[in-house]
Amino acid sequence: MKKNQLVMFLGLVITLLSCGSSKKTVTTVQNKDAESQLVHFPKAKPGFKRYVITVPASPAEEKELKLELIAGKVMPTDCNTRSLNGRLEEKTLQGWGYTYYEFKTNGTVVSTMMACPDNKKTDKFVEAKPELIRYNSKLPVVIFVPDGYEVKCRIWQAGASFEAAEK
């Protein structure tokens, strides 16, 4: 029993790592149930790309898991911390009730204004505010982003609960 849980946990960790490092598309373990539902979702409009995330069935209770969606763009940055203005807007697929997301942004970036002594620029993923959603292995997560933007993801698992101290 514990060996099976360890194997499933390692599979979940591998999935998490593959989501966080994706460059072109969000890569996850294929789930046949979720894949079959994909036909109901719209195709990407001109000027947009469609990202699809399918997560594996989990040995843990799915209510204990969350999926973090991170939309952003790779751009040259210096030593300052940057954040992309934009948000993931939740939409409902008419006739089915399924949820999908559309990333809305005007492309502006906010930044700290520290003096960077070397003024060295490096390409980094600048992200917008992440969206934490329910983990659901039965349906795909579909996200539409403007051309030039990407989607990354992380899987979060709740820790042990504890009682708050009464004072």
- Looking at the chain, the whole-number percentage of residues with pLDDT higher than 90 is 64
Least confident window among 9-23, 35-49, 115-129: 9-23
Q: For residue 7, what pLDDT is reported?
A: 43
Q: What is the DSSP letter of 127?
A: E
For domain 2-157, say whether CATH 3.10.20.10 is its number. Answer: no
| Contact of 41 with 98, CB cutoff 8 Å | yes
Phi, psi of 165 (to 5 degrees): -80, 135
Least confident window among 18-22, 77-81, 125-129: 18-22
Give me the chain's average pLDDT, please. Answer: 84
Q: For residue 31, what pLDDT is reported?
A: 58
- Burial (CB < 10 A; 0-12, 13-18, 19+), residue 101, is buried
Q: Could you read off the pLDDT of 62-121 as tens digits, one per residue?
A: 999 999 999 999 999 999 999 999 999 999 999 999 999 999 999 999 999 999 998 899
Phi, psi of 18 (to 5 degrees): -70, -30
Q: pTM value?
A: 0.75
Does the pLDDT value for residue 146 go beyond 70?
Answer: yes
